[in-house]
Amino acid sequence: MHRFPPTIASRLLLAGLCVTVAASGSLMRAQTSVRGVKVLGSKDAVEIEVESSDRLVPQTQVLTGPDRLVVDFPNAVR
């Protein structure tokens, strides 16, 4: 597995944690929709802002080949 330098790893972790974390709704409740995604940042930091109709619980993965961060919002629609 690819090892990221500490600064990159912490930025990826920060990006994954920037999303609001809460319990997901039940099947009887209306689906949560993702209204918008913005990637914000500067030379020293990266932030991801996700706007949704309700609170979401993100699932994140760091993949390689090419290196990337995947943020999934189970049961959410766009």
> For the segment 30-72, what is each residue's pLDDT rounded down to a tens digit?
789 999 989 888 888 888 899 999 999 999 999 999 999 898 9
Residue 39 lies in a domain: yes
- In this structure, the number of other CB atoms found within 10 A of the CB of residue 11 comes to 18
- 54, 59, 52: which is closest to 73 by C-alpha? 59
Quote the pLDDT of residue 62. Answer: 94
- Tally of domains in the chain: 1
Residue 60 lies in a domain: yes
Residue 78 lies in a domain: no
Residue 1 lies in a domain: no
Residue 19 lies in a domain: yes
Structure tokens belonging to residue 12 = 């990826």
Could you tell me the residue range of the domain that residue 12 belongs to? 6-73
Using an 8 Å Cβ cutoff, are 50 and 37 in contact? Answer: yes
pTM of the model: 0.53
Structure tokens belonging to residue 67 = 């290196």
> Angle CA(4)–CA(46)–CA(31) in degrees, nearest 5?
105
